[in-house]
Amino acid sequence: MQQVKLGSQGLTVSAQGLGCMGMSQSYGHADDSVSIATLERALELGVNFFDTADVYGERGVYGFGANEKLLGHALHRRRDEIVLATKCGIHGIHPSGRGFQVGASPEYVKRACEDSLERLRTDRIDLYYLHRVDPETPIEETVGAMAELVREGKVRHLGLSEVTAEQLEKAHAVHPISALQSEYSLWTRGIEESVLPAARRLGVGIVPFSPLGRGFLTGTVAGAEFTDDDMRRTNPRFSHEAIAANQAIVEVVKEIAAERGVRPGQIALAWVHSRGADVVPIPGTKRPAYLEQNAAAAELQLTPSERERLDPLAAQVTGSRY
């Protein structure tokens, strides 16, 4: 797979990465041996950009460290072949059940980094993200602590996840930000109004998570019954009513896929790739076969007419992201 520059600070990654969260939580049962085979297959295909977080935990819940430990176990002997991204700042689900508990004081950031390094079995993190902004701590203070980690050699590059344009500007003024991670796909385009232009003005790379719409855009979700440990069970876009309404979006993707002789998910990923050379999506999977399908999409070029059919679909979405 082609290697590309992510941001303007010298970070080079595969043109498509691998989101690893589902190997430990949120999308039903995962088998560690199959997940490890997926990681190894990724490297064989040239996918070397792996994304995790300290909070990705055990089987369907936000806990601590399980996903980082899995990657550390599977990949520490091949560390120099990998661009490793992890995150700090989310402590778990809020007691109310709505939203996350967040915290990113300078002291917490430094402690979290040390813990992640230990779990990942490495001496440096290639891309360290603030997972969510702490409303009690100015982002300048959080990023200042992250910048100290760069100076100490524990972190190579800094990133932010799900921030506003204003927050990105403030953070970048403290230390250059290499990557902005946000949900971005055919049916989630909120960053285009202000965040994406700000990132491009600052030379910050874009890392879309859930570029397949949490699996919906693969055309395989309709009729599925989600288990209790699958976060889609309570996601507004995956209620029975929303799935029925949103099926019209998938039908367009499926039509184009049939015309091209590819899978719907590959069309959805190709659309994300088409948004610019600075866009590096990280579709998540825990199975080698799906990884292979996703990786092939990086070479798929959409025609202008196909993009004209796909671009309006976001306006038809029923249900909020969370």
Those residues with Cβ within 8 angstroms of residue 276's Cβ, 6 or more apart along the chain or in another chain: 200, 206
Is 220 inside a domain boundary? no
The answer to whether the CB of 222 falls within 8 A of the CB of 250 is yes
Percentage of residues in the chain having pLDDT higher than 90? 78
What's the whole-number mean pLDDT along residues 204-230? 86
Is residue 275 pLDDT above 80, yes or no? yes
pLDDT tens per residue, range 111-144: 999 999 999 999 999 999 999 999 999 999 999 9
Those residues with Cβ within 8 angstroms of residue 303's Cβ, 6 or more apart along the chain or in another chain: none
d(CA 307, CA 297): 15
> In this structure, what token pair is assigned to residue 299?
């070479």
What's the whole-number mean pLDDT along residues 32-54? 96
> In this structure, what token pair is assigned to residue 167?
């927050």
pLDDT of residue 131: 96
What CATH number did the domain enclosing 41 receive? 3.20.20.100
Is 219 inside a domain boundary? no
> Any idea which residues carry the catalytic annotation?
56
Is 244 inside a domain boundary? no
Is 126 inside a domain boundary? yes
Is 123 inside a domain boundary? yes
Is 312 inside a domain boundary? no
pTM here is 0.91
Is residue 63 pLDDT above 60, yes or no? no
pLDDT tens per residue, range 234-247: 788 888 888 888 89
Those residues with Cβ within 8 angstroms of residue 305's Cβ, 6 or more apart along the chain or in another chain: none
Length of the chain counted residue by residue: 322
What's the whole-number mean pLDDT along residues 29-33? 83
Is residue 96 pLDDT above 60, yes or no? no
pLDDT of residue 79: 96
pLDDT band at 62 (very low <50, low <70, confident <90, very high): very low
Domain encompassing residue 65: 3-213+272-300
Is 322 inside a domain boundary? no
Higher pLDDT, 307 or 227: 307
Is residue 61 pLDDT above 70, yes or no? no
Can you tell me whether residue 126 is helix, strand or coil? strand
Can you tell me whether residue 13 is helix, strand or coil? strand
pLDDT of residue 36: 95
d(CA 15, CA 301): 14
Is 317 inside a domain boundary? no
Q: How many domains does the chain have?
A: 1
